[in-house]
Amino acid sequence: MDFVKEIARRRTFGIISHPDAGKTTLTEKLLLFGGAIQEAGAVKNNKIKKTATSDFMEIERQRGISVATSVLAFNYKGKKINILDTPGHKDFAEDTFRTLTAVDSVIVVIDVAKGVEEQTEKLVEVCRMRSIPMIVFINKLDREGKDAFDLLDEVEQKLGLSVAPLSFPIGMGYDFKGIYNLYEKNINLFSGNSKQNIEDTIAFDDIDNPELEKIIGEKASQDLRENLELVNGVYPPFDKESYLKGEQQPVFFGSALNNFGVRELLDCFIEIAPTPRPKKSEERLVEAKEKAFSGFVFKIHANMDPKHRDRLAFIKIVSGTFERNKPYLHVRLNKQLKFSSPNAFFAEKKEIVDISFPGDIVGLHDTGNFKIGDTLTSGEVLHYKGIPSFSPEHFRYINNADPMKTKQLNKGIDQLMDEGVAQLFTLELNGRKVIGTVGALQYEVIQYRLEHEYGAKCTYENFPVHKACWVEAEKNSDEFKEFKRVKQKFLAKDKKGQLVFLADSQFSLQMTQQKYPSVKLHFTSEFK
Ligand code: G4P
Residue having the nearest C-alpha atom to atom 25 of ligand 1: 140
Separation of 90 CA from ligand 1 center, angstroms?
Answer: 17
CA torsion sign for 122, 144, 27, 64 is positive
CB of 250 closer than 6 angstroms to any ligand 1 atom = no
Residues contacting 471, CB < 8 A, separation 6+: 491, 498, 499, 500, 501, 519, 520, 521, 522
Residues contacting 224, CB < 8 A, separation 6+: 168, 170, 180, 207, 212, 216
How much is the average pLDDT of 45-56?
A: 45
pLDDT digits (tens, 9 = 90+) for 331-357: 999 999 999 989 887 766 778 889 999
Instruction: For residue 435, name the pLDDT band (cuts at 50, 70, 90).
Output: very high
Residue having the nearest C-alpha atom to atom 24 of ligand 1: 140
Check residue 265 and report its DSSP letter.
H
The pLDDT of residue 179: 86
* Domain 3-272 identical in fold to domain 394-522: no
**Atom of ligand 1 minimally distant from the CA of 143:** 26
Which CATH number does 279-377 carry? 3.40.50.300
Backbone angles phi, psi at 449, to 5 degrees: -70, -35
The pLDDT of residue 49: 45
How much is the average pLDDT of 416-437?
A: 92
pTM, full prediction: 0.85
pLDDT at residue 398 above 80? yes
Residue having the nearest C-alpha atom to atom 19 of ligand 1: 22
Has domain 394-522 been given CATH number 3.30.70.3280? yes
CB of 350 closer than 6 angstroms to any ligand 1 atom = no
Separation of 356 CA from ligand 1 center, angstroms?
Answer: 34
**Atom of ligand 1 minimally distant from the CA of 255:** 23
Instruction: For residue 58, name the pLDDT band (cuts at 50, 70, 90).
Output: low
Least confident among 120-129, 197-206, 314-323, 423-432: 197-206
Residue having the nearest C-alpha atom to atom 17 of ligand 1: 22
Percent of the chain past pLDDT 90, that is, above it, reads: 57
Domain layout of the chain by residue ranges: 3-272, 279-377, 394-522
Question: Which has more confidence, 200 or 4?
Answer: 4
- 3-272 falls under which CATH superfamily? P-loop containing nucleotide triphosphate hydrolases (3.40.50.300)
Buried b (16+ CB within 10 A) or exposed e, 389-425: bbbbbbbbebebeeeebeebbebbbebbbbbbbbbbb
Residue pair 405/413 in contact (Cβ under 8 Å)? The answer is no
Q: Among 83, 188, 257, which is best to mutate for testing ligand 1, by the most ligand atoms less than 8 A from CB?
A: 257
Q: Among 20, 72, 112, which is best to mutate for testing ligand 1, by the most ligand atoms less than 8 A from CB?
A: 20
